[in-house]
Amino acid sequence: MCGIVCYIGKKPEKILIEKLKRLEYRGYDSAGIAVKSDKGFDIFKAKGEIKNLESKVKEIDNSYLGIGHTRWATHGKPDEANAHPHISTDKKWVIVHNGIIENYSSLRDKLIGFGYEFYSETDTEIIAKLLQYYDNGNALETIRQTISVLKGSFALGIMKQDVDGIFFAKSKSPLFISKNEENVMVASDIICFKNFGDTFYQLSDGVFGFASSKKIEFYDKFGSVNIKEEKLDLNEMDDENKYEHFMLKEIYETKPAIKNISEFYSKQRLLEIFENLNVKNIRKIKLVGCGTAYHAALMGADMIEKATDIDCEVVVASEFRYSEPRIGEDTIVILISQSGETADTLAAFELAKQKGAITIGIINIEYSALAKKVDYLLPIKAGVEVAVASTKAYSAQLLVLYLLSQALGNKVKNSEIDLSTVKTLINDFDYGTTKELQDLAEYLRYNDKLFMIGRGKDYFTALEASLKIKETSYINSDTYYAGELKHGFLALIEEDTFVIVFATDKKLIDKTISNAEEARARGAKIILFTPFDIDKGITDKFFKVFKVKKTDDRLQCIENITMWQLIAYYISVNKGINPDKPRNLAKSVTVE
């Protein structure tokens, strides 16, 4: 969600466009750059894709620094006036901003009172105006004063007319810096540093500073601060793609991710990670996440409850703070997030910490804010995920949650850690037959609504399958507990309505099939998704029985979802939608 990149070095206009393309995955609807040369600032902005911006940008003689931005609209529609960079009225300050200024309205009113005029609807423009308002000739002091009145989240890249360098500031939105000889880059994601630097600095909240070709200085409100230079791990950054779309590439990276996880988490390692965890007083476990991560949490709660006999509750991260959760030192809060930058999940973490709970993070991006803060980090080792629709990361989250359930079970009940299931999963793992998946996708693409039903964990899989279809195909796919049909949902069934029935648990299959029959009797076309052989008498009545490979019950959920990720992908492509960038969505949701 919004991305910034700033560059000190020759031809910044070229480098900024190239790096903004790396930030595209975060989601955006307009983009812009500002470039400084010996003639002053040149600003270019465009609505829509980076290529629109690229076609507008002209080569600038003697350009030597610049700032760039991809904007995901929050305040004001995605147009050129609202696109960043924004500039002060006196044209001395130019800025790009990622985040949301919560008190922008009162600051704007104040500035209007002082005679300032605004040309955009954004919260960001007030920062450019505030820099002018506080300008006392000392740029760092002006920035310190400006950020001290801002409430909310921001990562800022700032240029000043009479200074040859980039100022930056950070609070609650990610910001990193890397240098390569005399060149410097400031960016929202270290992915921009690929083929640039070998090391990077990660800014903490409240840090601001200045970078030029000669030095990088960091400050907080008390004075100068040191930030540790970290090594860039290029293996984590494989964002090259030979497939038609990242979504397809990433689904096919599920098996390698499972292998990575099983190599990383040996029995010994799991014991070591939790060596100091005192579980004697633990009375409850809360699992928190958003979207796909929330669905992983539902599955994880089931695994952990069964392994530990401790009550688990799952809460959507955006609700956690406002639910006044009764948590304290007797609680473990498990935070699940691919990006580790999701604002609601970070806020849930802050509350959990404030209340004294033990925090465990199940996170993909190991340099993310959340990963750095949790008491216990369990990386999911899935590698970079670029497509907005989360696929391999979900499966990796499920597997790591399973390992966590085993580790906690071992601590609480002294039970054996069972890793044989993982080996079986690797041996069994099957992506299905492409032709069969494509044919099913072709049937489903013409529907404007779909229903999915299941019991127990199958219901959770249906929720995630449904989210994937909604996100990438814009079909209104709705999910119900199979046992709930008669309590209202049946009223929605019409002749030829597709109902997809998830029945992968032997204990529940007969009951689920009875529910499918109820829907069929009212005209529904049933697609039964199961690993089991079904009597011909039943299959003949259904539109299709769709087989999935059977593996250990506890990890069947990973087999199950992969096929639906592929089906969602094919529906999307068949409908002519780019599955990597669904409309209105961002990969990393850094605002509430």
Do 505 and 559 form a contact (C-beta atoms < 8 A)? Answer: no
What is the Cα gyration radius of the chain? 26
| Min CB(145)–ligand M6R separation in Å | 33
Residue 345 in the binding site for ligand M6R (CB under 6 A): yes
- Selected binder of ligand M6R within 132, 390, 466, 477 (CB under 6 A): 390
- Measured from the CB atom, the residue of 219 and 294 that comes closer to ligand M6R is 294
| Min CB(297)–ligand M6R separation in Å | 10
What single DSSP character describes residue 4? E
Tokens describing residue 27? 């989601």
Residue 361 in the binding site for ligand M6R (CB under 6 A): no
What distance lies between CA 575 and its chain's CA centroid?
A: 24
Instruction: Choose, from 2, 290, 312, 557, the residue flagged as catalytic.
Output: 2
Three-state secondary-structure class, residue 178: strand
| Min CB(389)–ligand M6R separation in Å | 4
Of 145-153, 245-253, 285-293, 348-356, the segment contacting ligand M6R by CB under 6 A is 285-293
- Selected binder of ligand M6R within 132, 338, 512, 556 (CB under 6 A): 338
Query: What mask of x and - would describe binding to ligand M6R in positions 52 to 81, judged by CB under 6 A?
Result: ------------------------------
Of 166-174, 191-199, 339-347, 531-539, the segment contacting ligand M6R by CB under 6 A is 339-347
H/E segment holding residue 500: strand 498-502
Of 118-126, 260-268, 382-390, 552-560, the segment contacting ligand M6R by CB under 6 A is 382-390
Give the integer Cα–Cα distance in Å for 383 and 338: 10
Restricting to residues 408-467, name those near ligand M6R by CB under 6 A. 467
Give the integer Cα–Cα distance in Å for 156 and 188: 9
Q: Please provide the DSSP assignment of 52-107 as one string.
A: HHHHHPPP-TTEEEEEEEEE--SSS-SSTTTSSPEE-TTS-EEEEEES-BTTHHHH
- Measured from the CB atom, the residue of 159 and 363 that comes closer to ligand M6R is 363
- Selected binder of ligand M6R within 17, 298, 358, 388 (CB under 6 A): 388
- Selected binder of ligand M6R within 63, 120, 339, 466 (CB under 6 A): 339
Task: State the CB neighbour count (10 A cutoff) for residue 169.
Answer: 25
Position of tokens 């070998």?
Answer: 198
What single DSSP character describes residue 171? E
φ, ψ for residue 300 (rounded to 5)? -65, -40
Residue 471 in the binding site for ligand M6R (CB under 6 A): yes
- Measured from the CB atom, the residue of 290 and 401 that comes closer to ligand M6R is 290
| Min CB(293)–ligand M6R separation in Å | 4
Query: What mask of x and - would describe binding to ligand M6R in positions 308 to 337, judged by CB under 6 A?
Result: -----------------------------x
- Write down the H helix ranges in 429-555: 434-444, 457-473, 509-520, 536-539
Own/partner long-range contacts of 44-48 (Cβ < 8 Å, ≥24 apart): 44/13, 45/80, 45/83, 45/84, 45/85, 46/80, 46/83, 47/78, 47/79, 47/80, 47/83, 48/78
- Measured from the CB atom, the residue of 335 and 408 that comes closer to ligand M6R is 335
The sign one gets for the Cα dihedral 265, 267, 270, 272 is negative
- Measured from the CB atom, the residue of 99 and 165 that comes closer to ligand M6R is 99
- Measured from the CB atom, the residue of 292 and 331 that comes closer to ligand M6R is 292
Beta bridge partners of 289: 316
- Measured from the CB atom, the residue of 57 and 441 that comes closer to ligand M6R is 441
| Min CB(307)–ligand M6R separation in Å | 23
Residue 473 in the binding site for ligand M6R (CB under 6 A): no
| Min CB(28)–ligand M6R separation in Å | 15
| Min CB(298)–ligand M6R separation in Å | 13
- CA neighbor of 75 nearest in space, from 49, 47, 108, 101: 101
423 is catalytic: no
- Selected binder of ligand M6R within 403, 589, 590, 591 (CB under 6 A): 589
For β-strands 86-87 and 93-98, DSSP reports them as: antiparallel
Give the integer Cα–Cα distance in Å for 171 and 70: 18
Residue 389 in the binding site for ligand M6R (CB under 6 A): yes
Residue 132 in the binding site for ligand M6R (CB under 6 A): no
| Min CB(583)–ligand M6R separation in Å | 12
| Min CB(49)–ligand M6R separation in Å | 19
Give the integer Cα–Cα distance in Å for 550 and 430: 9
| Min CB(247)–ligand M6R separation in Å | 10
- Measured from the CB atom, the residue of 128 and 296 that comes closer to ligand M6R is 296
- Measured from the CB atom, the residue of 380 and 528 that comes closer to ligand M6R is 380
Task: State the CB neighbour count (10 A cutoff) for residue 470.
Answer: 17
Tokens describing residue 536? 């011909």
Do 95 and 124 form a contact (C-beta atoms < 8 A)? Answer: yes
Q: How many residues does the chain have?
A: 592
Number of residues interacting with ligand M6R: please give it, by CB under 6 A: 15
Do 480 and 518 form a contact (C-beta atoms < 8 A)? Answer: no
Of 26-34, 386-394, 449-457, 494-502, the segment contacting ligand M6R by CB under 6 A is 386-394
Give the integer Cα–Cα distance in Å for 415 and 408: 9
- CA neighbor of 17 nearest in space, from 62, 68, 84: 68
Instruction: Choose, from 45, 457, 468, 587, the residue flagged as catalytic.
Output: 587
587 is catalytic: yes
φ, ψ for residue 103 (rounded to 5)? -100, 25
- Measured from the CB atom, the residue of 258 and 389 that comes closer to ligand M6R is 389
Restricting to residues 286-305, name those near ligand M6R by CB under 6 A. 290-293
- Give the CB-nearest residue to ligand M6R: 291
Residue 342 in the binding site for ligand M6R (CB under 6 A): yes
| Min CB(289)–ligand M6R separation in Å | 6
- Measured from the CB atom, the residue of 67 and 586 that comes closer to ligand M6R is 586
Q: Name the site residues for ligand M6R (rule: CB under 6 A).
A: 290-293, 337-339, 342, 345, 388-390, 467, 471, 589
Catalytic residue list: 2, 587
